[in-house]
A and B are shown apart, each in its own frame.
Chain A
Amino acid sequence: MAQTPEQKAADSAVVEAVLAGDAAAYRSLVERYQRRIYAMVTGMVRDKEEARDLTQDAFIKAYKNLDRFRKDSSFYTWLYRIAMNVAIDHLRKHGKRKNVEFDEKIGTADGDGSLDDRHRIGDPAKELARKQLGDKIFDALDQLSPEHRQIVILREVDGLSYKEIADTLELAEGTVMSRLFYARRKLQGMLKEEIAR
Chain B
Amino acid sequence: MSEPSLTRLDTLLMRVLDDQASDAERRELLSLADAEPRLAEQRVLRDRLRSALMDAASDPIDVVPQVLAALAIDDPWQSIASGLRDAVDGDIDLADGIMAALGSAELPEQSPAKLVGLDLGGPIPTAEESEGILLSAMVDGELSREKRAEISGALADDKSALDQMTEFAELGRLVRTAVELETRKSELSGLWQDICPAIGVQDPEHVPGWEHTAAALRDAVQAQAELSASEEGAFTAAIMNGIPTQEHRTEVLELEDETPAANQGFWRIMGDPRSLVLAMAALFAVVLGLQMMQTQDPAVTLPEAPSDPVAHLVETPVDTSERTSGMSADHNQAQVEELESGHHVTVHIMPGMEGAPMFLMIDEGDEGATL
A interface residues (Cβ-Cβ under 8 A, vs B): 23-24, 26-27, 30-31, 34-35, 38-39, 42-43, 46, 48, 51-52, 55-56, 59-60, 63-64, 118-119, 130-131, 133-134, 137-138, 141, 152-153, 155-157, 161-162, 171-175, 177-181, 184-185, 187-188, 191, 194-195
Task: List chain B residues, Cβ under 8 A from A153.
Answer: 175, 179
Selected from A52, A172, A191, the residue in CB contact (under 8 A) with B121 is A172
With A156-B172, A178-B125, A181-B132: A134-B195 Cβ-Cβ less than 8 Å: no
B56 to chain A, nearest CB (A): 31
B223 to chain A, nearest CB (A): 11
Task: List chain A residues, Cβ under 8 A from B179.
Answer: 39, 42-43, 153, 157
Return 9 A-B CB contacts under 8 Å, by A number: A39-B180, A42-B182, A133-B177, A141-B178, A156-B171, A177-B116, A177-B137, A178-B120, A180-B140
Question: How far, in whole Å, are A175 and B171 apart by their CA atoms in the complex?
Answer: 20
Task: List chain B residues, Cβ under 8 A from A162.
Answer: 137, 140, 142
Within 8 A of A (CB), among B182-205: 182-188, 191-192, 194-195, 198-201, 203-204
B167 and A188 within 8 A (CB): yes
A195 and B174 within 8 A (CB): yes
The answer, yes or no, to whether B113 is at the interface (CB within 8 Å) is yes
B185 and A194 within 8 A (CB): no
A23 and B201 within 8 A (CB): yes
* Among B118, B182, B203, residue most surrounded by chain A Cβ atoms (within 10 Å): B182
Q: Is the interface of B mostly helix, strand, loop or mixed?
A: helix
Chain B residue at minimal CB-CB distance from A35: B188
A134 and B182 within 8 A (CB): yes
A185 and B132 within 8 A (CB): yes
A38 and B181 within 8 A (CB): no
B178 and A138 within 8 A (CB): yes
A-facing mask of B155-178, CB < 8 A → 1, else 0? 000000000000110111011111
Task: List chain B residues, Cβ under 8 A from A178.
Answer: 113, 120-122, 125, 133
Question: How far, in whole Å, are A184 and B188 apart by their CA atoms in the complex?
Answer: 30
With A31-B192, A134-B178, A181-B132: A187-B183 Cβ-Cβ less than 8 Å: no
Selected from A27, A161, A188, the residue in CB contact (under 8 A) with B171 is A188
Question: How far, in whole Å, are A69 and B244 apart by their CA atoms in the complex?
Answer: 59
With A56-B194, A175-B122, A181-B133: A194-B174 Cβ-Cβ less than 8 Å: yes
Selected from B133, B167, B175, B199, the residue in CB contact (under 8 A) with A64 is B199
Chain B residue at minimal CB-CB distance from A53: B194
B142 and A38 within 8 A (CB): no
With A42-B183, A152-B175, A184-B168: A174-B199 Cβ-Cβ less than 8 Å: no
B142 and A39 within 8 A (CB): no
B192 and A30 within 8 A (CB): yes
The answer, yes or no, to whether B129 is at the interface (CB within 8 Å) is yes
B113 and A157 within 8 A (CB): no
With A23-B200, A46-B182, A162-B142: A156-B118 Cβ-Cβ less than 8 Å: no
With A134-B178, A178-B113: A30-B122 Cβ-Cβ less than 8 Å: no
